[in-house]
Structure formats: C-alpha cells, structure tokens
Amino acid sequence: MSIRHFINLPEIGPETLKGILEHAHALKREKYNPPQILEGLSLVMAFDKRSTRTRLSFEVAMKQLGGHTIVMNMGEMQIAGSETIEDTAKVLSRFVDAVMLRMSSHEMMEELARWSTIPIINGMTDESHPCQIMADLLTIEEKLGAIEGKKIAWFGDYNNVCKTFAQAAPIFGFDLVISTPPDLKPEKTTADVIYQEDAKAAAKDADVLVTDTWVSMGQEGKSIEKFMPYQVNSALMALAKDGAIFMHCMPIHQNEEVTPEVLKTPASVIYDEAENRLHAQKAILAWCLEEAGVRVRKSA
C-alpha cells in the first residue's frame, strides 16, 4: 500500500486534490458536529520555525476529529544532534500515525518521507506551503465560486507561498499573475502562470489580490525598499474586478506589503482564510490516513 505523503502538490494528482478540497468544504459544514474519523490516531507536529496558524489548525483538526497530537521542537530532537534522518523517520513511524513538519529544508523533508512508513505532511518549507494553498483555494471557492478561470494576482516577494500558487494554477485551472521586482522574476512561466512587472497591470480585473510578507522567516535584515511598488493599497485594489477579494496567509506587516485601509474593507477575507486552515487540514489528514487503513466517511 502506498504511503500518502502531502509534500508536493504536483505529485498528488488533480482529482485527488479536488477531492480533498471538496471534503474540506463538507467538513466545514460539519464544523460544530465533527465526525470522529481519526479516533485513536496520533500526529506528531515538529517545528524548526515559529507558527501560529499551522500549529493551531493541525492541533484543533486532530482533536476535533477524535485524534491526538504531540508537538516537538526540532531543535530539541536528536535529529538536531547526531541522529540520522533515517533513524528519526523509522522511529517516528513506530510511534504515531502521521507527521506534520515545518522545516526550512525541503530536501530534508523529502528524505525523511523516503524512510517513513507513515504519511509526512508539509507544514511549510523554504520551497513550498501546500496546506496554505489548499486553505486559500477553499476560501476563494467560498467567496467567489468555482476557482477555474479566476485571475489571481500575486504581489511582492517570489516566495514559497507564491511558488505553491504557481504549482496549483495548472492543477485547478486558474490564471496566476506574479508581480514582483524584476530581479525576482520567476525563471519559468507558462500559459497559466505569467509575470507582470507593473503592479497596476497585474491588478487590473483580478478576482483575487494576494500578498505575503516581504521578509520571510530566516531573511531578517533584508532590504524592503524595492518591494514598495508592489504594496497592496486602496489604489491597487480599485483596479481589480468589482467584488474582488484580498488575501494574505498571515502574519501581516501593516504598511509594508499591505495598508491598514485594505484590511478594514469587506474585500479582506484574511480571517476566513486563517480559519480555513482548520478545515483544509482536516481534509488533508483524512486523505493521508485513509490509505493507512482509516475509514474516512465523506461528510454530507
């Protein structure tokens, strides 16, 4: 039986990902009466970086669905000393049913998954943040209907979240316009993922304007001056489609990547987006653990 890791969106398959999203919508409808589909199962969550939403959403998701969590600081695990990735993966596999990792090194996460006999879930690496993107797509569908054909405009840094949006675009059939300083222009663009240096042109007729911090964790001290033309402000929002929404995975740095005015408008859906981490996480956990023998009842 193959192990269902949730690390790289393109490796999972479009129909599976769409099914996970559909399940997330269903689980959200059962928010106050969550099915006990993960009863008796345990999840280790290990972090080498700060987190609020990822930690909370996985912890609450497991507990609401009947499971348990163990939180570990990677700096306090033996892997931070001399223990090998292989031994860590094999031992974790004997104790719990799945592992969610937030770790800088994407390669190390993939290496851990190679030795693991239980699902590994990517809670963010320097390369990607697939759980965030599933929550974002859930939010867009809730607010604007089907994701297919929507124009999503990304502003600011070309970071792990942006790169994962770019992976999701051909899978879910939306158009992604990436607007960043020219030195951060993506090396590869496609029919679904285009680059637009001019932020105003990128915002024009967009359904969704999205940004993220200009200084990701571990990049402290970086100059932010070149990002100012890519700030999401009222003037930029005014160029988007009527009814367009503003998204940000949080944490926010006000007056840097977004102005407080934008956050106060009904266009800002940041708290729904944050809550949707919970519902997306539930569906991801259910999919990962179904193959391991867990009977996952699809919610009404």
The residues that are catalytic are: 102, 129, 132, 212, 249, 277
Residue 231 binds ligand CP, judged by CB under 6 A: no
- Compare residues 99 and 249 and give the one whose CB is closer to ligand CP: 249
Shortest approach of ligand CP to residue 250 CB, angstroms?
5
Kindly state the number of chain residues that form the binding site for ligand CP, as judged by CB under 6 A: 8
Q: How far is the CB of 131 from ligand CP (least distance, A)?
A: 8
For residue 4, the minimal CB distance to ligand CP (Å) is: 21
Please report whether residue 250 would count as binding ligand CP according to CB under 6 A: yes
The verdict on 54 binding ligand CP (CB under 6 A) reads: yes
For the bound state, the minimum distance from the C-beta of residue 273 to ligand CP, rounded and expressed in Å, comes to 9
Residue 262 near residue 234, CB atoms below 8 Å: yes
The least distance separating ligand CP from the CB of residue 196, rounded to whole angstroms, comes to 25
Nearer to ligand CP, 4 or 248 (CB): 248
Strand partners, 245: 208
Under rule CB under 6 A, residue 249 binds ligand CP: yes
Among 4, 5, 28, 53, binds ligand CP (CB under 6 A): 53
**Count of residues making up the chain:** 300
Q: Which is nearer to ligand CP, 93 or 273 (CB)?
A: 273
Token representation of residue 117: 């006999």
Contact region for ligand CP (CB under 6 A) — 46-54, 172-180, 262-270, 286-294? Answer: 46-54
The region of 22-30, 47-55, 167-175, 229-237 touching ligand CP under the rule CB under 6 A is 47-55
Q: Which two tokens stand for residue 146?
A: 């089907």
248 Cβ contact list (under 8 Å, min separation 6): 210, 211, 212, 257, 258, 270, 273
Whether the Cβ atoms of residue 151 and residue 169 lie closer than 8 Å to each other: no
Nearer to ligand CP (CB atom), residue 54 or residue 211: 54
Listed ranges 51-59, 170-178, 180-188, 292-300: which one lies at the site for ligand CP (CB under 6 A): 51-59
When binding is defined by CB under 6 A, the residue of 36, 52, 73, 234 that contacts ligand CP is 52
Which of 16, 42, 51, 104 is the binder for ligand CP (CB under 6 A)? 51
Taking the least distance from each CB to ligand CP, the nearer of 4 and 53 is 53
Pick 59 or 207: Cβ nearer ligand CP: 59
Q: CA 168 to CA 162: how far, in whole Å?
A: 10
Q: Binders of ligand CP among 106-135, rule CB under 6 A?
A: 124, 132
Given the rule CB under 6 A, which residues bind ligand CP?
51-54, 124, 132, 249-250
